[in-house]
Amino acid sequence: MLLHFEEDRALAQRIAGAAGLPTAAIDRHRFPDGELKLRLPATLPTQVVLLRTLDNPNEKLVELLLVARTARELGAQHLTLVAPYLAYMRQDIAFQPGEVVSQRVVGRFLADLFNAVITVDPHLHRVATLQEAMPVPQAVVLSGAPLLADLIAAHHTRPLLVGPDEESAQWIAQAAARHHFDYGVCRKVRHGDRQVDIALPALDVDGRAVVLLDDVASSGHTLAGAARLLRAAGAASVDVAVTHALFAGDALQVIQAAGVGTVWSTDCITHSSNAVSMAPLIAQTLLTLTA
- pLDDT, one tens digit per residue, over 84-130 is 999 999 888 888 899 999 999 999 999 999 999 999 999 887 888 99
Question: What is the reported pTM?
Answer: 0.92
Instruction: Quick: pLDDT tens for 124-156.
Output: 878 889 999 999 999 999 999 999 999 999 999
Q: What is the mean pLDDT of the chain?
A: 93
Which uninterrupted H or E stretch holds 155?
helix 145-155
Beta carbons of 260 and 239 less than 8 angstroms apart: yes
SS (H, E, C) 161-212: EEECCHHHHHHHHHHHHHHCCEEEECEEEEEECCEEEEECCCCCCCCCEEEE
**Of residues 4, 52, 156, 188, which has the active-site annotation?**
188
Class of 2-142 in CATH: alpha beta
**Residues 123, 102 contacting (CB under 8 angstroms):** no
The beta strands (E) that lie in the chain are given as 2-4, 23-25, 27-30, 36-39, 47-51, 78-83, 116-120, 138-142, 160-163, 182-185, 187-192, 195-199, 209-217, 237-245, 263-266, 274-276
pLDDT tens-digit map of 40-76: 999 999 999 999 999 999 999 999 999 999 999 999 9
Q: Enter the CATH code of domain 145-276.
A: 3.40.50.2020
Query: Does the annotation count 188 as an active-site position?
Result: yes
Q: Where are the domains of the chain?
A: 2-142, 145-276
CA-to-CA distance for 85 and 55, rounded, in angstroms?
A: 7
**Domain 2-142 and domain 145-276 have a common topology:** yes
